[in-house]
Structure 1
Amino acid sequence: MVKSETTQLNTVFHALGDATRRQMLLELADGERTVGELAKPFEISLAAASKHIKVLEKAGLIRREVRWRTHVCHLEPAPLAGAHEWLGFYERFWTDRLDALERLLHKEDASQSPYDKEGDDP
């Protein structure tokens, strides 16, 4: 992986590491929101919301647009593709492991006689 891609991925995961920012992204998935609208569910100040938004902007996850005196935020999902790809490796890893476990358990069940199972009477 190229260093700039690694840096971008680190920035995205840092931004996603905070529950408030993840919820803000969820809100933005439904459409644009003002900074005030993003702050409201958390009962945080506009300054605190703005700090969270700056982290999301730095990660490239949102875009802020100024309309007169109102700051409107939009979701930019493209950086999530890199995170999804990175996590996909681990999804395949666990899926393969769980599939192997399932095969092993089926093989074990098939090798036991019906009366060997706990709780069954002959």
Structure 2
Amino acid sequence: MGSWGFGNFDNDTAADHLSIVTKRLLDEVTEAMSGDPVELEPDEYWGVAVPCNLELLYRLAELPYVGVCLPEPDVAIEWKRHYLAVWDENIGGLVESAQARETRRAVLVETFDRFIAAARREATD
């Protein structure tokens, strides 16, 4: 086993474990994005869980750990387009306040943008 420090994530086994955990999060997003768009609506499980998974992934990618799995940037960009199209189409009947819709949408855009930036960094490393 290779080790490069004394931290919890400073060895090959920890990197393997982190890749398994992040791959699971990524697989969930991949499945949700390729499934029925109804499942991505803002009041559905994956409509809420997808941004959660993306935030976990980009936050892990910001740390100096080996083993984080992210998609190609083009995939992440397409996910953003698809997710926001479903969100935009369905949020009107769920949230009456235009300000609340705009604020939540801004958070979603920032989440996707940070995820895309992390995917781009990983692709160039």
Q: When the two structures are superposed, what TM-score results if normalisation uses the length of structure 2?
A: 0.28
Q: Which has the larger radius of gyration?
A: 1
Using CA pairs below 8 Å that are at least 6 residues apart, which structure has the higher relative contact order? 2
Which has a greater percent of strand?
1
Which has a greater percent of helix?
2
